[in-house]
């Protein structure tokens, strides 16, 4: 009996060895920084990976050249935001190495990029801290409406139809993709973009890398604004409801009617904040239960809503002001003048930017206390704004241009 057991164990060992021999380490491992760009002015870059498993689930980790310290192992993914080191070194070549492993082995790949100083030395010498001639930094587009930034490109909705992919580094329009009727807001979820089609009650999802159409989702009539909470895309509708779209599979769930004319919507990490233009209020909503937790009075016809990490900012289109609410308890921290018909807000880490759809200006307010920090003149009817980590962009609907400020 013992001899039979020994024979069986030997056979099992041989079979396991044969199975292991049939597997191979990961293959086709590649790494590209910013999709092959040769230069960058930022230490924060996007890493793009490809790999095929030889056996089992793959993991990956990264290290910067010359620093020898690797990040922790994490599940393999094709795209990752990464900070180059040393952060203070400019006008130098920096490199990154990725290691990919599965159950059979580890393979690595590397790439490098030249990091140049982002400073305009002439502007520093002349103390010009903003662009005085925005024409050189504008891109002509037909009726641009809203924008979002995916780390490399701006996605700009065009009221006549379509969404343009605009490379932020050199202001090149890469291409334009189809959408539904009268596309308005556009939201980035970390992988794909979602376009709210005001004219036909749908939302179009496309991949950022190549623009492939993922799906078209039907929501309520007149979707105008949206946001992403890490799992769901939230969309308002002229019927007074919010529509929750599962980003993974496109499943749609709607709330009851929450108010009159829902407009801007923002997520603060825990709760949704929605402006209801017909009620002159902002409501704090539990995204799990859809329950209204609190209602706060603001100015006339509130429209855009923004979260700055601690406060909720609301643009009041009807009285040309901006209201600041403390996110933790809704305490009113002030109302500030901000040009004609505030239609969107952007935050750059210290300044609140306000687009004035009723004119040709973008106002700047100090986030700490709402102090006016200047006005920039842009083409007619700046509607929506986007921040790319370095510059704020305005979609000027009436002027037919997107402007980098």
308 and 359 part of one domain: yes
380 and 282 part of one domain: yes
- The rounded percent of the chain whose pLDDT value lies above 70 is 87
Q: Band the pLDDT of 24: cuts 50, 70, 90.
A: low
143 and 191 part of one domain: yes
Question: Does residue 48 form part of some domain?
Answer: yes
158 and 255 part of one domain: yes
50 and 86 part of one domain: yes
Q: What is the pLDDT of residue 126?
A: 46
| Dihedral angle computed from the Cα positions of residues 162, 263, 216 and 175, in that order, rounded to the nearest 10 degrees | 20
73 and 152 part of one domain: no
Burial classification of residue 309, based on how many CB atoms lie within 10 Å of its CB (0-12 exposed, 13-18 middle, 19 or more buried): exposed
Task: Check the CA dihedral 287-290-294-295 and report its sign.
Answer: positive
Mean of the per-residue pLDDT values for the chain? 87
Q: Band the pLDDT of 296: cuts 50, 70, 90.
A: very high
Q: What is the pLDDT of residue 136?
A: 61
Question: Does residue 80 form part of some domain?
Answer: yes
Q: Is the peptide bond before 86 cis (omega within 30 degrees of 0)?
A: yes
Question: Does residue 217 form part of some domain?
Answer: yes
105 and 240 part of one domain: no
The number of distinct structural domains making up the chain is 2
- The rounded percent of the chain whose pLDDT value lies above 90 is 71
Choose the final residue of a domain: 115, 149, 169: 115
222 and 151 part of one domain: yes
Instruction: Residue 281: give its domain's CATH number.
Output: 2.130.10.10
For range 82-102, the mean pLDDT: 79
Question: Does residue 6 form part of some domain?
Answer: no
pLDDT over threshold 60, residue 119: no
**What is the domain range of residue 342?**
124-404
181 and 43 part of one domain: no
Instruction: Residue 55: give its domain's CATH number.
Output: 2.60.40.10
66 and 128 part of one domain: no
Choose the final residue of a domain: 54, 81, 115: 115
Write the DSSP symbol of residue 18: H
DSSP states of 317-356: TTTTEEEEEETTT--EEEEEE-SSSEEEEEE-SSEEEEEE
Q: Band the pLDDT of 18: cuts 50, 70, 90.
A: very low
Q: Band the pLDDT of 125: cuts 50, 70, 90.
A: low
Choose the final residue of a domain: 88, 115, 142: 115
Question: Does residue 15 form part of some domain?
Answer: no
Specify the higher pLDDT residue, 28 or 282: 282
Question: Does residue 191 form part of some domain?
Answer: yes
pLDDT over threshold 50, residue 44: yes
Strand partners, 313: 306, 324
Residue 230 to residue 247: CA distance in whole angstroms: 9
75 and 177 part of one domain: no
255 and 273 part of one domain: yes
Question: Does residue 21 form part of some domain?
Answer: no
């Amino acid at each position: 009996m013992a001899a039979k057991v020994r024979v069986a164990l030997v056979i099992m060992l041989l079979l396991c060895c044969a199975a292991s021999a049939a597997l191979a380490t990961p293959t086709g491992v590649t790494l590209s920084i910013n999709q092959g760009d040769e230069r960058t002015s930022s230490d924060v870059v996007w890493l793009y990976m490809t790999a095929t498993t030889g056996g089992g689930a793959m993991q990956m980790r990264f290290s910067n050249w010359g620093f020898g310290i690797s990040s922790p192992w994490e599940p393999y993914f094709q795209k990752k935001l990464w900070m180059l080191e040393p952060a203070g070194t400019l006008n130098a070549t920096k490199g990154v190495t990725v290691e990919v492993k599965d159950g059979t082995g580890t393979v690595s790949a590397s790439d490098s990029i030249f990091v140049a100083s982002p400073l305009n030395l002439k502007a520093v010498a002349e103390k010009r801290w903003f662009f005085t001639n925005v024409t050189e930094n504008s891109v002509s587009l037909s009726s641009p409406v809203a924008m979002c930034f995916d780390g490399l490109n701006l996605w700009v909705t065009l009221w006549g139809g379509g969404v343009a992919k605009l490379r932020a580094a050199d202001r090149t329009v890469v291409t334009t993709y189809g959408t539904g009727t009268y596309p308005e807001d556009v939201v980035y979820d970390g992988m794909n973009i979602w376009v709210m089609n005001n004219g036909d009650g749908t939302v179009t999802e496309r991949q950022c890398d190549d623009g492939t159409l993922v799906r078209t989702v039907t929501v309520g009539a007149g979707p105008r604004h949206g946001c992403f909470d890490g799992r769901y895309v939230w969309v308002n509708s002229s019927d007074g409801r919010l529509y929750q779209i599962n980003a993974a599979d496109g499943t749609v769930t709607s709330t009851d009617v929450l108010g009159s004319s829902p407009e801007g919507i923002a997520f603060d990490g825990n709760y949704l904040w929605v402006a209801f233009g017909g009620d002159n209020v902002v409501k704090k909503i539990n995204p799990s239960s859809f329950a209204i937790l609190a209602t706060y009075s603001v100015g006339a016809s509130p429209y855009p809503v923004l979260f700055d990490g601690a406060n909720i900012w609301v643009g009041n289109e009807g009285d040309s002001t901006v209201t600041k609410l403390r996110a933790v308890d809704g305490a009113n921290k002030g109302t500030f003048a901000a040009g004609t018909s505030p239609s969107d807000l952007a935050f750059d880490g210290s300044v609140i930017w306000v687009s004035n759809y009723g004119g040709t200006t973008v106002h700047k307010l100090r986030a700490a206390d709402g102090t006016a920090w200047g006005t920039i003149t842009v083409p007619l009817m700046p509607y929506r704004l986007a921040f790319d980590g370095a510059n704020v962009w305005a979609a000027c609907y009436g002027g037919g241009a997107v402007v980098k400020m």
